[in-house]
Each structure stands twice: as structure tokens, then as C-alpha cells.
């Protein structure tokens, strides 16, 4: 039995983050682009579908964040320096 400090065991690494996931993502992108997904392990294909869904959600969140920041910057540009100070923005 391995030594332990009595705390919780280390959590499982996220299979969708980290260097291994990044490498597998690139490999799967190439295979998909070449039409070579047939015959791959079911677990790998399930991982790939979930990974693509997570990527889509992440990209949508990033785009929303960028749009929100652009809208905020645009709104701030309409304020005078005095108005910004009054609102505590400077």
C-alpha cells in the first residue's frame, strides 16, 4: 500500500486538458481532416466528440468575452474623465 498523509487521493487528471490532450487533439484533427476516423476505438471516438464539444463551448465563451470587452471599451470611450472618476473607473 502506498504511503499517504491520510488526505484525499490525488484527483484524476482532466482528459481534455494538458499536453497529452493537446497532442491527441492535433492527431484527431488530422485524422478527421483525412477521413481516417473509421476503425478507431470507441472510447477514443467518444473522447473526440466530447473534446470538440468542449472546444466549441470554450470558443463561444471567448468570443462572448471579447464582444463584452469591446462593448465595455466602447461605452467607456463615451464617458468624460470626470464621469469615469465619479463612477470609480479611474
Tens digit of each residue's pLDDT (9 = 90 or more) over 14-62: 888 888 899 999 999 999 999 999 999 999 999 999 999 999 999 999 9
Does residue 25 sit within a domain?
A: yes
Does residue 69 sit within a domain?
A: yes
pTM of the model: 0.64
Give residue 5's pLDDT. Answer: 59
Domain extent, residue 46, equals: 19-34+42-86
Q: What mean pLDDT is predicted for residues 67-90? A: 92
Does residue 53 sit within a domain?
A: yes
Total count of domains within the chain: 1
**Torsions phi, psi for 54 (to 5 deg):** -65, -40
Does residue 2 sit within a domain?
A: no
Which comes out higher in pLDDT, residue 17 or 2?
Answer: 17
- Interacting residues of 14 by C-beta distance below 8 A, sequence separation 6+: 21
Amino acid at each position: 500500500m502506498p504511503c499517504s498523509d491520510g488526505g484525499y487521493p490525488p484527483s484524476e487528471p482532466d482528459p481534455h486538458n494538458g499536453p497529452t490532450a493537446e497532442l491527441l487533439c492535433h492527431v484527431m484533427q488530422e485524422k478527421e481532416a483525412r477521413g481516417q476516423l473509421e476503425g478507431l476505438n470507441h472510447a477514443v471516438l467518444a473522447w473526440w466528440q466530447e473534446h470538440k464539444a468542449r472546444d466549441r463551448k470554450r470558443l463561444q465563451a471567448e468570443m462572448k468575452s471579447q464582444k463584452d470587452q469591446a462593448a465595455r471599451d466602447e461605452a467607456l470611450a463615451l464617458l468624460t474623465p470626470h464621469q469615469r472618476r465619479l463612477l470609480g473607473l479611474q
